[in-house]
A and B are shown apart, each in its own frame.
Chain A
């Protein structure tokens, strides 16, 4: 059974629809990547899964629950976590406080999870008392991802996690995302570095014009001549 299942998503922010029929499915423990040209609605689709877009049609099911109309807080409780592309840390809070805010919905002891995440992201352990606003772009992304992991999600939604990062930071971050996945967290990400992302993905979706265009396994998408030419930089 699939963990997340979104069918026929249509909607947007104003009068015009950005999503014109998007289907996305993620199985437990899967890495799924969404690629597509600018303006294809990739980020909007991710936001829609988290209840941040007004949907005119379609349904989102997570772990057997219909979450189409649930507020973000309740999605977090069910085990869904979302990391936006920008403005994804609380700049005036320390690194540790950012992680504590991620765990706000939890009532149990979070200390062991804090330590586990500081092991996963050692650079954050060094900076735990530093304000998140003073960190580099790559470090901020790690704070944002660690914050999202504090709820022990089953599925992590990542919106272009490597946007604006240096090549070296991109590799570091992908390695961390792979480590998160090894802990059993399914990942659905929108990514510009499509080649690297597809290389670690089980499956991938190509969105064009707010709708599904193509869907296959990661390796098949990488090998597909048309897609490689158009979306992977040749």
Chain B
């Protein structure tokens, strides 16, 4: 029982990280109608930009993370302005393939600047808190709390703010959004800012929990997409649920399966959802 509970905690942390990535994938899909394959590598870039803040600028962890998220968000918008915007008329397939190219470019740049070896943020090793049999690492608690805060903030943004409502309107019907006089390009910029910032946060959390590596984000792209699909692509709340379900399922699987099969859980989840509930748990498009 204790072991299961412990895996559950790990699962929630992993799931929270997946969820932050999956929200961006879902938002981009809802508003721009294409699967953004560079999302994993945006996570990587975010993690390394935070490292730049810590080692080069000598910032403490939190400001470095904020800087990493901000710079990644701006970089994501720049990629859209330079590339995706010009290809928008050419359809979803062209955008998808071009995002593959962006993924490779970003990954190569990271490797060029920081090298292929594993790196760490160099935070002090803090012994875990004990709650009976349960061991909770402070960093895990921080990840979970920040995740909850970010998701709550995003929910409020989408339901209360003008731009947030316009994002939902555009996800509903981009043509009508234009007809209603909504400046759709501005909505697109906001979408990329949020998606990029959240991806960076997911990447930094993942690096904090494990270590930095140029393949950091690429390696979790499959579970991140699976989370978006499981929750219902295009549905932000679904992405959160999908992320948590997938994180918990993949950690719990290690109780019965060798850990190398963890990625298979994501595959299994995609297949299961596509067969039995193609619109996802919470319903997407």
Contacts and interface: CB of A to CB of B under 8 A. Distances in A.
Contacts of A91: 172-173
Contacts of B172: 90-93
Contacts, number: 59
B179 A90 contact: no
DSSP class of A's interface residues: helix, strand, loop or mixed? Answer: loop
B178 A90 contact: no
Interface in A91-123: 91-93, 97, 100-102, 104-105
Given A91-B172, A93-B168, A93-B169, A104 B162 contact: yes
A76 B173 contact: no
A77 interface: yes
In which size bucket is the chain B interface?
A: 10 to 19
Interface stretch (B58-66, B103-111, B135-143, B180-188): B180-188
B181 A84 contact: no
Interface residues of A, number: 25
Interface in A51-96: 52, 71-73, 76-77, 82, 84, 87-93
B165 A50 contact: no
B77 interface: no
Given A73-B183, A87-B173, A93 B165 contact: yes
Contacts of B173: 87, 90-91
Contacts of A90: 168-169, 172-173, 176-177
A73 B170 CA distance: 14
DSSP class of B's interface residues: helix, strand, loop or mixed? Answer: helix
A87 B168 contact: no
A162 interface: no
A76 B180 contact: yes
A147 B180 CA distance: 8
A72 B175 CA distance: 10
A95 to B, nearest CB: 13
22 contacts: A50-B179, A72-B179, A73-B183, A88-B176, A89-B176, A90-B176, A91-B172, A91-B173, A92-B171, A92-B172, A93-B165, A93-B168, A97-B168, A100-B165, A101-B177, A101-B180, A102-B181, A104-B180, A104-B181, A105-B181, A148-B180, A151-B181
A71 B177 CA distance: 13
B50 interface: no
A82 B182 contact: no
Interface string B153-178: 00000000010011011011101111
Contacts of A89: 176
Contact of B181 (A73, A87, A92): A73
A73 B162 contact: no
B284 to A, nearest CB: 11
